[in-house]
Chain A
């Protein structure tokens, strides 16, 4: 059973510098209780993918393809109908808990608003439900938190409030856009644990966007790696972590600090992400790839099935080692 099904989703933006193809032909699906992680550098299109699904793109954005929520097509839906779905069936948590709450409204005002709009609840009912939800996300003394204003709460408390708010209407799909980036490490760990607990409890499909591979490892079932608006590798998390097939995934994993191995040097990916208005004709990663050969520069590799659940977009099929990543790239 699938809860969210994305088929051939593309997003482009018309800018004065030309058309930016931010997302190209994305395909994924996710079932209840499952967690999908979308990983990639800043500007790789991971946020735009979910923004498009939520209908929250900027005015100059254009979407193609299809996004089905529990069988219902969302792309091209009227704004009024979409408003009824957003927040009720599909909720979103934003990166910065410091700015995602309205500073002039108390927590109670902001939480009950959602319930009063979507569930037509009376305020007193909505208050009870909000209090219960704050308890569910392990905020102590929820009655008092409700009367507080955002500036009186800590970052972790605010993020819990955001999560509670997103879960108020029992959504089928929860999208978390870098939910732990703005939090400190101990709070991050608490949040991940909370996400895990909540997806189990409510059987919510969770899409988590992050550039932190540690988050993915602990939480996700499936993983997608994006580069320059395209998916370069997709598959179950264990597979991608232990046996990456795309040099970019390999590079990402090896530029992450591992405490256990006690390495004192990291192998960063050389070069910079490409400009989306001016992509190379072949593989977008080829200018930074130590394994590239002629074909990579001329032809764009398609995302194809390698093994039964592993997809990768790369022509290279040989071994990859850390020493390769350290090699200086041949200057073209």
Chain B
């Protein structure tokens, strides 16, 4: 076989713009736009998102629709809650009243606000602190990484529920203390996940290219590494919100969390569970319904996001 030399003429224009396969659109689609497209095609995620928005609307605008405020005691009901306090449109107690004759609708609105706040604040701290901490540890590596991650290991090895309970007992039961306690601990897992991702990201050529282009360490971390981490961070954060809500509810269920006159889903469920034997089942079911629906929504959204942002796809 004789091979003949082939002359390759380099053309100045490598792309045929009129080629039908060459997609012509004015704006580029970012990976985020692609992911959003996939997410919104996934029915369970969209339904969950709608449900979650409704729950949030209920929590933050519900008090406009309430006939009774959350502090008022309906004296006509007091002492006869099982019969007079049942959910009814006529009395204005849509969800009935609690054991003290307070309007349960208003109480659930108030509880939803606090529970959602705890969830979002906890997850927010985790996202900000965890991402920064993990990205710095992973990027710099070596001794800095070891020291930073050992600190995380030590903090993780402390039984956190115990610490949280101690904190609340020692410094008094207040919602601020609850935020502090949850915030202190929520970022630990996040920082580990982020660090692991950063370790592999920093070896990518675009990071090296950025260094060769003169970018400093913090430019590289914030401009090149963090955007690439956001996928996994968002997925983990959506799973963290329900976890935070659960923690708060558990603490409140134990009676250590949110204190009267404030309330939360956990506190309401706890009270509802305490009075079930008197036949006032609605006191348990209404807060429980919001609690369960919200957690389900978050988990479905988390799943949808994970599929949409599939990390293997990068």
Contacts and interface: CB of A to CB of B under 8 A. Distances in A.
A91 interface: yes
Contacts of A38: none
A151 B33 CA distance: 13
Interface in A76-92: 79-80, 82-88, 91-92
B5 A83 contact: no
A12 interface: no
B90 interface: no
B154 interface: no
Nearest to A192: B10
Contacts of B32: 104
Contacts of A277: none
B14 A80 contact: no
B158 interface: no
Interface string A236-276: 00000000000000000000000110101000000000000
A149 B30 contact: yes
A92 B209 contact: yes
Contact of A147 (B8, B27, B230): B27
Interface string B230-243: 10000000000000
Interface centre among B6, B141, B223 (most CB of A within 10 A): B223
B17 interface: yes
Interface in B1-32: 1-6, 8-15, 17, 23, 26-32
Interface string A138-152: 101100100111011
Given A80-B216, A140-B17, A259-B6, A162 B29 contact: no
A49 to B, nearest CB: 14
B30 A259 contact: no
A151 B1 CA distance: 40
A101 interface: yes
Contacts, number: 122
Contacts of A330: none
Given A91-B213, A101-B206, A103-B314, A152 B15 contact: no
B29 A102 contact: no
A99 interface: yes
B3 A259 contact: yes
Given A151-B31, A264-B1, A100 B228 contact: no
Contacts of B141: 59
A207 B97 CA distance: 80
A186 interface: yes
Nearest to B6: A259
B227 A104 contact: yes
A105 B213 CA distance: 15
Contact of B28 (A148, A190, A264): A148
Contact of A87 (B205, B213, B224): B213
Contacts of B209: 92, 94, 100-101, 162
Given A104-B227, A140-B17, A154-B15, A259 B4 contact: yes
Given A104-B230, A157-B14, 5 more contacts: A87-B213, A96-B205, A106-B28, A152-B29, A189-B8
14 contacts: A56-B212, A86-B214, A95-B205, A100-B209, A102-B223, A105-B223, A114-B213, A140-B17, A141-B17, A144-B26, A162-B209, A259-B3, A259-B4, A260-B5
Q: Can you list the 4 inter-chain pairs with the closest CB atoms, starting with the nearest?
A: A87-B214, A148-B28, A87-B213, A92-B212
